[in-house]
Chains A and B, each alone.
Chain A
Amino acid sequence: GAGVSQSPSNKVTEKGKDVELRCDPISGHTALYWYRQSLGQGLEFLIYFQGNSAPDKSGLPSDRFSAERTGGSVSTLTIQRTQQEDSAVYLCASSLPAVLLQYFGPGTRLTVL
């Protein structure tokens, strides 16, 4: 079937605006992860959803960041009052339960002017 999809692929916004980034995981994958990658850097973990369990939000950098996962499938990462340092590629990944290979989407490149 289809892989992980993310939308939009690119987003340019002005400082102070809110943005929503969407992730559609692979069907049947109960685990979903959000990461942030700044230019030339590694992946920074943001948040992890596993089934109906409470999400692991330990990586969210500030209370301007939040994420939801509705119906155990699609997830939305919301960044409120964006700052220039939020500019990065936001990557989503999903995996099967108890299987630790992660399948990544193509990412959303966020640019905050």
Chain B
Amino acid sequence: SQQGEEDPQALSIQEGENATMNCSYKTSINNLQWYRQNSGRGLVHLILIRSNEREKHSGRLRVTLDTSKKSSSLLITASRAADTASYFCALLFTGANSKLTFGKGITLSVRP
């Protein structure tokens, strides 16, 4: 079935380091979004990148999209302990009628 594959499953870094998380998929998309989840409850939208875009920035976040490789990366620069959370990529596949497909998530731990 259609789903984003996130990599790595878990990431542990020191505060101040950069965190890179990846998402790959298999069929064409309209857009790709990244969400963050703290403590297993509601998700917060971080950034959306459309299929005709290659890179977007929002504060310390940088997202790239390579549609030829069907992959995206989320980079968090100068990480903080408060960035500790689960991060999900969500894909709007072409023809999916506004229905996002979420990956299984990446657990990021930022050590103070």
Chain A interface residues (CB < 8 Å from chain B): 4, 31, 33, 35, 37, 39, 41-43, 45, 48, 50, 56, 89, 91, 93, 95, 100-107
Decide if B40 touches A104 in the complex (CB within 8 Å). no
Q: Is B52 an interface residue (CB 8 A)?
A: no
- In the assembled complex, the Cα of A45 lies from the Cα of B98 at a distance in Å of 12
Distance from A21 Cβ to chain B, minimum over Cβ atoms (Å): 14
Q: Which listed residue (B40, B92, B98) contacts A37, Cβ 8 A?
A: B40
B interface vs A, CB < 8 Å? 3, 30-31, 33, 35, 40-45, 48, 88, 90, 92, 97-105
Q: Kindly state the separation between the CA atoms of A95 and B100 in the bound complex, as whole angstroms.
A: 12
Complex alpha-carbon distance, A39 and B39, angstroms? 11
Query: Which of B42, B45, B88, B97 is within 8 Å of A101, CB to CB?
Result: B45
Q: Do most interface residues of chain A lie in helix, strand or loop, or is the interface mixed?
A: strand
Q: Would you mind naming 8 contact pairs between A and B with Cβ atoms under 8 Å apart?
A: A42-B103, A45-B102, A48-B99, A56-B99, A100-B92, A100-B98, A104-B44, A107-B42
Closest to A50 in B: B98
Across the interface, do A91 and B42 meet the contact criterion of CB distance under 8 Å?
A: yes
Query: Chain B's nearest CB lies how many Å from the CB of A66?
Result: 18
Q: Smallest Cβ distance from A63 to chain B, in angstroms? A: 21
Alpha-carbon distance A43/B87, docked complex (angstroms): 12
Contact A106 B92 (CB under 8 A): no
10 closest A-B pairs by beta carbon, nearest first, are A42-B104, A43-B102, A104-B42, A104-B43, A106-B42, A42-B102, A101-B45, A107-B41, A106-B41, A42-B105
